[in-house]
Amino acid sequence: MQAQSQENRIEWEGALVQRAVAGDTRAFERLYREHSGRVYGLCLRMTRDAQLAEDCTQDTFINAWKALKQFETRSSLSTWLHRIAVNVSLGKRRKATPVLEAQPEDEDGTLGGWTFETPVEVRELEGAIGDLPDGARDALVLHALYGYSHGEAAQMLGIAEGTCKAQLHRARKLLRERLNLEVN
Amino acid sequence: MTGPKEHKVKSLAELPQALEPARDLWPGIEAALKTQVPAAGTGLSPARVRLGQLRWFAAAAMVASVAVGVWIGRDLVPLSGPAPSVAQATAPRVTPAQGANAVDAAFVSDPRYARQRAELLQSLQTRLDAMPEPARAKVTASLATIETAKKDLESALGKDPSNALLQELLINTYQDEMRALTDVHEASDPGRGI
C-alpha cells in the first residue's frame, strides 16, 4: 500500500508538473502548497532569518517554475526543490556573510541516527541548531533532519563529501556542548 | 520559527521538516510568474500541446480517483472486502466508435446514471463532514481535480465535438468521478467503516 501510494503520488505530481510546464499556474500552485512547508523549513534553518527564508522560498518556486521543463517527472520533486532551495539560501547568505569551509578531519562517517540519551525540548534543540556555524548547520540540517546521504548533502552544498562529514562531526561536537548531553 | 516546540524529542529526525511561514507566499510567487516567459518550450503546435494537456487532465483525474480509493482504503475502511461498486453498475461503457453523440447518449440521457450521480452528490457533503480532516482534505482536492478535468474536456469537446479521443477521455473522467463518489459513499456507510 505504501509503495502504491508513493507511486500514485509520483504520477500525480508528474501530471501536475506537466500541466505547469504547459503554463498552468493553478497546477503549480498545487505543487507549491504540497512542498512549501518543507522548503520553507529548510530555508529557515539555513538562513536563521524568517524574512530571508520567505524570500528564499519564493525564489525557490520562481526558479523552479522557470526550470520546470528540465525536471524529470520520475525523480523526486521534493529533492529537486530542495536542491534549488539550498542554492538560493547559500546565494542569499553569501551576500551577507562569507562562509568559511571546514577542512576535512578524521571522521568515520558513522554518525548514527542523531539520537539523544535524554529527550530535548524542541525549542532548545532548534535554538542550538540555529547557533551552529553555517557550514556545520547546513550539513546537519540536510543530513540529520532531511535525511540526505553524505554524498547528496555534499553535492547540494557544493563541497567535498569528506568536508561534509567533517562539518557533521563538528556539528555533533558543538551540539553536545551546547545541549550539555550525549549525541549518539 | 513556528511549529510544535512544546514537546521533547529524542532524535533530530523527530523535528518537523515542514514549517509554515507567517504569511502566504503564493501571491508573491504568482505575481512573479506572470512576468516570466511561460515555462513551456516544447516546439509543438498549440493544438498538440492542448491535446497533451487534456490527456494529462484526464490522467490526473484517474490518479485522483484511484487516490480517493487508496486514502479511503488506508485510512477509513481497514477491513473492506470487494464490494459491489455503484460506479461499475451505473457508469456507462461507451467507446469512441459509437459516434459523435456518444457523450450525450451516455451521460445526458441515461436516467439511471444521472439519478445515481445526483444522489451521491446530494449526500457528498454529509459524507465528507464525517471524515477525519486529513482524509477530507485529500478527497476534496481529488474531486476538485476531477471536476477541473471534466470542465476542460467538455470545453474542448464543445469546440471539437467529433473528436473521438476527447470523447473517450471525458467518458473515462466521468467514470473516475463516479468511482470516487462511490468510494466516499461506501466508506462512510455505517456498515463499512467510519
Of B60, B57, B177, B34, give the one whose Cα is nearest residue B117.
B177
pLDDT at B78: 46
pLDDT at B188: 61
In the predicted model, is pLDDT for residue A149 greater than 70? Answer: yes
Answer for the pair A81, A39: CB distance below 8 angstroms, yes or no: yes
Q: Is A37's CB within 8 Å of B18's CB?
A: yes
Average pLDDT over residues A55-82: 90
Can you list the domains of chain A with their CATH numbers?
2-96 (1.10.1740.10), 99-184 (1.10.10.10)
User: What span, in angstroms and rounded, lies between the C-alpha atoms of A41 and B137?
Assistant: 22
Q: Which residues of A touch B59 (CB under 8 A)?
A: 11, 15
pLDDT averaged over 10-residue windows placed end to end, chain B, 194 residues: 63 89 93 70 49 68 67 53 42 44 50 78 82 80 83 75 70 80 72 43
Give the residue, B184 or A1, on which the prediction is more confident.
B184
pLDDT at A110: 36
pLDDT at B41: 45
- CA-CA distances (angstroms) from residue B74 to A2, A9, A125, B71, B78? 9, 15, 34, 5, 6
Give the residue, B40 or A178, on which the prediction is more confident.
A178
pLDDT at A159: 94
In the predicted model, is pLDDT for residue A82 greater than 80? Answer: yes
3-state secondary structure of B173: helix
- Find the CB nearest B25 among A4, A28, A58: A58
User: What span, in angstroms and rounded, lies between the C-alpha atoms of A159 and A63?
Assistant: 22
Angle (CA) A146 A7 A10, round 5°: 65
pLDDT at B70: 63
Q: Is A125's CB within 8 Å of B56's CB?
A: no
Of A17, A4, A138, give the one whose Cα is nearest residue A74.
A17
pLDDT at A98: 45
Give the residue, B38 or A136, on which the prediction is more confident.
A136
Q: Of B63, B71, B142, B145, which to mutate for an interface test with A (greatest number of A Cβ within 10 Å)?
A: B63
Of A15, A4, A141, give the one whose Cα is nearest residue A82.
A141
3-state secondary structure of B183: helix
pLDDT tens string A87-103: 999 998 876 554 444 44
Average pLDDT over chain A, rounded to whole?
85
* Strands (DSSP E) found in chain A: 115-121
Which residue in the block uniquely carries the three cell numbers 554524498? A151
Residue A83: which pLDDT band, with cuts at 50, 70 and 90? very high
- CA-CA distances (angstroms) from residue B182 to B22, B149, B154, B171? 39, 18, 22, 16
Window 152-191 of B, Cβ < 8 Å to A:
none
User: What span, in angstroms and rounded, lies between the C-alpha atoms of A16 and B180?
Assistant: 19
Angle (CA) B141 B147 B150, round 5°: 145
Answer for the pair B18, A38: CB distance below 8 angstroms, yes or no: yes
pLDDT at B97: 42
Average pLDDT over residues A158-181: 90
Give the residue, B92 or A68, on which the prediction is more confident.
A68
Of A146, A132, A140, give the one whose Cα is nearest residue A165.
A140
pLDDT at B110: 63
User: What span, in angstroms and rounded, lies between the C-alpha atoms of A142 and A124?
Assistant: 19
Answer for the pair B33, A28: CB distance below 8 angstroms, yes or no: yes
Percent of chain A with pLDDT over 70: 83
Cβ count within 10 A of residue B97: 9
pLDDT at A81: 96
Q: How many CA atoms lie within 13 A of A13 on its CB side?
A: 21
DSSP of B25-93: -HHHHHHHHHTSPPS------HHHHHHHHHHHHHHHHHHHHHHHHHHIIIII-TT------HHHHHS--
Shortest alpha-carbon distance between residue B33 and chain A (Å):
7
DSSP state of B98: G
Task: Please tell me if residue B41 touches chain A, with a CB cutoff of 8 Å.
Answer: yes
Q: Is A121's CB within 8 Å of B5's CB?
A: yes
Give the residue, B182 or A170, on which the prediction is more confident.
A170
Residue A75: which pLDDT band, with cuts at 50, 70 and 90? confident
User: What span, in angstroms and rounded, lies between the C-alpha atoms of A83 and A157?
Assistant: 9
Window 78-137 of B, Cβ < 8 Å to A:
none
In the predicted model, is pLDDT for residue A23 greater than 80? Answer: yes
